[in-house]
């Protein structure tokens, strides 16, 4: 569960904090940009996976016989 504190303002604070922490630990701007790109890729893939699962579940439900059809079998 995501805390409700992570609203728009909370997200900006978290991002700024993470950025400062990474810079403070010696990460270059390019390394931070690469990390950000990887995070976006992971989120994008997660959304695609969720969409594919929802579509598969919807297709399975559409192909499942109704109660009346099962009774007739």
Among 19-28, 34-43, 53-62, 63-72, where is mean pLDDT lowest?
A: 63-72
Q: Are 23 and 32 in contact (CB under 8 A)?
A: yes
| In a domain? residue 3 | no
Q: What pLDDT is recorded for position 65?
A: 72
What is the domain count for the chain? 1
What pTM was estimated for this model as a whole? 0.66
1 falls within a domain? no
Q: Could you give the C-alpha distances from 33 to 14, 22, 23, 27, 40, in angstroms and in order?
A: 16, 11, 12, 10, 11
Q: Rounded distance, CA 32 to CA 19, Å?
A: 8
Domain span holding position 63: 8-72
Identify whether 49 is part of a domain. Answer: yes
Does any domain span residue 2? no
Q: Does any domain span residue 60?
A: yes
pLDDT at 43 over 90: yes
Say which residue, 8 or 17, is predicted with more confidence. 17
């Amino acid at each position: 569960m995501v805390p409700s504190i992570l609203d728009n303002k909370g997200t900006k604070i978290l991002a700024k904090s993470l950025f400062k922490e990474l810079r403070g630990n010696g990460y270059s701007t390019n390394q931070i940009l690469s990390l950000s790109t990887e995070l976006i890729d992971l989120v994008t893939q997660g959304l695609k996976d969720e969409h594919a699962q929802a579509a598969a579940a919807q297709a399975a439900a559409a192909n499942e016989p109704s109660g009346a059809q099962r009774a007739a079998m």
